[in-house]
Structure 1
Amino acid sequence: MSSHRGASGLRTLFFLLLVMVFSLGAILLMGQLQSSRAVSEDTYVFSEVFNEVLSTVQEHYVKEVDAKTLIYGAIKGMLAELDPHTVHLPPEYFQDMKVDISGEFGGLGIEIGMRHGMLTVVSPIEDTPAWKAGLKSNDMILKIDGEPTQNLDLMEAVHKMRGKKGTSVTLTVGREGWTEPQDFTIVRDIIKIQSVKKELKEYDLGYVRITNFNENTDRELKQALDDLTRKAPDGLKGLVLDIRNNPGGPLDQAVKVADAFLSENVIVSTKGRDLSDDKTWYAHPEGAYSGFPMIVLVNGGSASASEIVAGALQDQGRAVVLGTQTFGKGSVQTLLTLKDGSGLKLTTAYYYTPSGRSIQEKGIEPDIKVEELSPDQRLALEHMRRERNQRLREQDLEGHFQSKDTDEKKPAAAPVPAEPEPEPPAADEEEAEKIFKSEDYQLERALDLLKSWEIFQAVLKKKAA
């Protein structure tokens, strides 16, 4: 009897638990349905308002306007409420985007982005017209051929800078430290980007420069590393991977470049609002280039894919990162083709390094901070600036002739001794800066560190023997 009651009690308890589980599930499901219904109702209500405005404009506006202009304008306004990397690409702009990824296009050779609402140079690509003209990372593009850029989105700005080879475009540029903007007139050219460059330095130290990431980067990198390895009789003793002023490119290429030097663990992960955007990429054990120390060079022009590579190699302890803080572009854009042939570049997730760090806005902090110019070079430039500011001009001299009347001498307040002739101007400071940078202080420091590593290794082997 007692046993029967116990079994009956257990059945009752089990039934009650089952009812509670189903009830909880039903409540959660109802909540989700109500939430979805609320979103759907809101979308429906505001869509009705949009259609009402569209219809009213088409029927009563003072001039006839085609539907495409109105709809594209509305889409542009809608996406402007989001982040600067989310944009609608009309068919011709969408084609530009596809051409960029292939590694050959016509234009100036700069990667641009929005920073604090300003059209900003992320990085000029090496050996392109923009790079040769002297544009720099963080330059603000205020006008394109005299047209203010404040109301342009990224793709409109890119499209305006594109054009036939041999034609010119004038960019009005602001730069930190300048008192007023300056114009750069640049002749467009066909931009054929050699993504990877290489050189074998002394002591069998390899130097590889990745100027940008495109669909050929991983193959070019492998060729470069294989060639350097063949040229070093006893194998590479160290490698400098230079991704300074590299504006980035396709995510898959960043993963493949990092994978070339890693044999295990996470390379990068993404997290978004949708679970389908939560992804993780891992290194593969086969084919990794290892057995030598590495230094990765970065600066403020290293963005996006460059930051993924630097972050992965830094977090996994495969390389020391040297230079200055990177750009901080850590968001993922998905490119979608729309029915009319236009495109939607939509931010869908954020990048995270293997340790879980977000790249967005913060960028990658180098392990060893080294400025572009050495302390002596910075001191020399500062001396030039002071010299320039103190240099006398004719109008500063007492009793100088006025331009409007050279027959009349400006009266002097009191007799003064003759002023010495001003010294010839010192070399232009921007030209001097170019000369200093051609010496590449950061690269010299990186190579010195790798040489030191080799020396320490030799000393340790002697002690062990």
Structure 2
Amino acid sequence: MFQRRLFTCCRLLLLTLLLTIPAPAIAEAEISEKQQQDTYQHLETFAAILSILQEHYVEEIDTKEVIEGAIDGLLLSLDPHSSYLKPEHYREFQEETSGAFTGIGIEITLKDGVITVIAPIEDTPAAKAGIKANDKIIKINGDFTKGKSPFDAVKLLRGPKGSEVTISIFREGWQELKDFTLSRDTIPLQSVRSFAIKPGLGYLRISNFQRNTTKEVREHLAELRKAEPLRGLILDLRNNPGGLLDQAVNVADLFLAEGLIVYTRGRNKELDLTYEAHRDERTESFYPLVVLVNEGSASASEIVAGAVQDHKRGVIVGSKTFGKGSVQTIVPLADGAGLRMTTARYYTPSGRSIQATGILPDIAIELANGSTDETGESSAPAVREEDLENHFFNQSDKPTEDTPEFSDEMRSRVENDNQLREAYNILKSLILYASFNRQQTRE
């Protein structure tokens, strides 16, 4: 009788969740009779332990807190991206995709049991302090993070604007921890920035994929085209930790005319999704494209990079990406909480799963520490004919004009960013090659 009642309760709970999940709804999975029996037995064990604790534990326990802890443990035992969102955590998650929050500006995950930075958000306290992708957060305000979930860590990292938090970081190659004391600030969620490298060449950066990202990308591209049509674009997805799947698909669709963008496969076949590109008036013309990625490019940004790479729409430049090839679904619960669970793996158009392997760039360029050559020595200034003593002067009636190579903003960026500098050189090569092909076709 107990088992029958318990099964009925489980079915009612599942039905309640179905009614609160936006389309596509999650269908009830088929459960074998043996699985049902095993579930009842384990739940009886759990209920018995809880009852014993309530009666005999040395101190009175908070039943709600204990059960939430058990749920956390259940989800963490599955994978690092599934988690139970308490009502306050669920509200924070919604803020991250639609508004702004106060904190230090990092995206984190649980990697090998350690709170790990996926990527710092651009122009935030964390980025300005030098926090990097793959940094391990060992302590927050002196307390060890071992055993904490990413949402537990987020709660400690956030706080009133202007207040301080100290994080103890371990980075590969370091011999000991290093403390960073950061002042919390409002983290704006403007996800797109752009500027003209020079007339006809554009730079566009997406820092994360939010609800309005596709709309912002269109607006920035329109602004870049105001002076003259775009002849080439650098799309910077470095340190982009991901975000909303539909926004990644829509952004990729801007640059692709047809074919697969991404597809998902999970245990529940009714939830398998396939996203196709389609050409319409909003599709960008097919100018040369260079996409910058690094180890902080994860999830949604890997979907865009993978689609561009598989369709040979552009050249992927930088370092290997993070390798998060799974899709999470947020299930709202009746008490204002939420369940974040991994429901599928995603695959690039060629059928690749990038889970734990990442996107390998077409041209691998690691970010250099300063302007040094491969020996580690500072490069000597170049010597040209004009520097030689008693050199001949140019006698031409039409001396070569010294036209600026970059816009002021581009010049300041490439001085300390070798990946961006190489991306620009590759983009110039693609433009020259495209121009050569057009000339050959006319001839």
After TM superposition, the score normalised by the length of structure 1 is: 0.78
Task: Pick the aligned partner of 2:416 from 413, 423, 439.
Answer: 439
> Is the Cα contact below 8 Å between 2:288 and 2:431 reproduced in 1?
no
Q: Distance in 2 between matches of 1:459 and 1:242?
A: 26
3-state SS of paired residue (2:117): strand
Q: Distance in 2 between matches of 1:347 and 1:85?
A: 7
> Is the Cα contact below 8 Å between 1:373 and 1:436 reproduced in 2?
no
> Is the Cα contact below 8 Å between 2:414 and 2:421 reproduced in 1?
no
Q: State the AA in 2 paired with 1:443.
A: L
Q: State the AA in 1 paired with 2:118.
A: V
Question: How many Å apart are 1:456 and its aligned residue?
Answer: 3.0
User: Deviation per CA, 1:17-59, whole angstroms, max 9, x where unpaired?
Assistant: xxxxxxxxxxxxxxxx997111111111111111111111112
3-state SS of paired residue (1:239): strand
Alignment-derived partner of residue 255 in structure 2? 261
1:342-361 alignment runs, 5 A limit: 342-361=337-356
Alignment-derived partner of residue 428 in structure 2? 451
Deviates most, 63-72 or 349-358: 63-72
Q: Distance in 2 between matches of 1:59 and 1:288?
A: 65
User: Deviation per CA, 1:361-404, whole angstroms, max 9, x where unpaired?
Assistant: 01101111111128962547578xxxxxxxxxxxxxxxxxxxxx
Task: Pick the aligned partner of 1:146 from 142, 145, 152.
Answer: 142
Task: Pick the aligned partner of 1:303 from 298, 302, 323.
Answer: 298
Deviates most, 198-207 or 180-189: 198-207
3-state SS of paired residue (1:38): helix
Q: Distance in 1 between matches of 2:215 and 2:130?
A: 30
Q: State the AA in 1 paired with 2:432.
A: I
Question: How many Å apart are 1:340 and its aligned residue?
Answer: 2.2
Gaps of 5+ in 2: 1-28, 379-411
Post-superposition, which runs of at least 4 consecutive aligned residues in structure 1 deviate over 4 A? 378-383, 435-438, 460-464
Q: Distance in 2 between matches of 1:263 and 1:436?
A: 32
Q: Distance in 1 between matches of 2:138 and 2:205?
A: 31
Equivalent residue pairs, number: 381
Alignment-derived partner of residue 188 in structure 1? 184
Q: State the AA in 1 paired with 2:324.
A: K
Question: How many Å apart are 1:263 and its aligned residue?
Answer: 1.7
Alignment-derived partner of residue 241 in structure 1? 235
Instruction: Check if 1:43 corresponds to 2:39.
Output: yes
Deviates most, 53-62 or 120-129: 53-62
> Is the Cα contact below 8 Å between 1:370 and 1:442 reproduced in 2?
yes
Task: Pick the aligned partner of 1:61 from 47, 57, 62.
Answer: 57
> Is the Cα contact below 8 Å between 1:196 and 1:211 reproduced in 2?
yes
Alignment-derived partner of residue 93 in structure 1? 89
Alignment-derived partner of residue 432 in structure 1? none
Task: Pick the aligned partner of 1:208 from 190, 196, 204.
Answer: 204
3-state SS of paired residue (1:83): coil
Alignment-derived partner of residue 23 in structure 2? none
Distance 1:290 1:305, change over 3 A: same
Alignment-derived partner of residue 115 in structure 2? 119
Q: State the AA in 2 paired with 1:150.
A: K
Q: Distance in 1 between matches of 2:435 and 2:69?
A: 66
Distance 1:376 1:104, change over 3 A: closer
User: Deviation per CA, 1:110-159, whole angstroms, max 9, x where unpaired?
Assistant: 00112222111110010011001110111110000001011101100011
3-state SS of paired residue (2:226): helix
Q: Distance in 1 between matches of 2:127 and 2:371?
A: 25
Relative contact order, higher structure (CA 8 A, sep 6+): 2
Alignment-derived partner of residue 76 in structure 1? 72
| RMSD between aligned residues | 2.2
3-state SS of paired residue (1:230): coil
Q: State the AA in 2 paired with 1:355.
A: S
Deviates most, 55-64 or 217-226: 55-64
Q: Distance in 2 between matches of 1:56 and 1:350?
A: 40
Q: Distance in 1 between matches of 2:438 and 2:326?
A: 46
Distance 1:112 1:35, change over 3 A: closer
> Is the Cα contact below 8 Å between 1:87 and 1:345 reproduced in 2?
yes
Alignment-derived partner of residue 130 in structure 2? 134
3-state SS of paired residue (1:268): strand
> Is the Cα contact below 8 Å between 1:373 and 1:437 reproduced in 2?
no
1:13-28 alignment runs, 5 A limit: none
Task: Pick the aligned partner of 1:324 from 302, 319, 325.
Answer: 319
After TM superposition, the score normalised by the length of structure 2 is: 0.82
Distance 1:438 1:96, change over 3 A: farther
3-state SS of paired residue (1:79): helix
Distance 1:369 1:161, change over 3 A: same
3-state SS of paired residue (2:258): coil
Q: Which entry has the higher C-alpha Rg, 1 or 2? A: 1
User: Deviation per CA, 1:98-119, whole angstroms, max 9, x where unpaired?
Assistant: 1111141110100011222211
Q: Distance in 2 between matches of 1:339 and 1:95?
A: 14
Q: State the AA in 2 paired with 1:356.
A: G
Gaps of 5+ in 1: 1-32, 384-434
Q: State the AA in 2 paired with 1:215.
A: R
Instruction: Check if 1:336 corresponds to 2:306.
Output: no
Distance 1:265 1:459, change over 3 A: closer
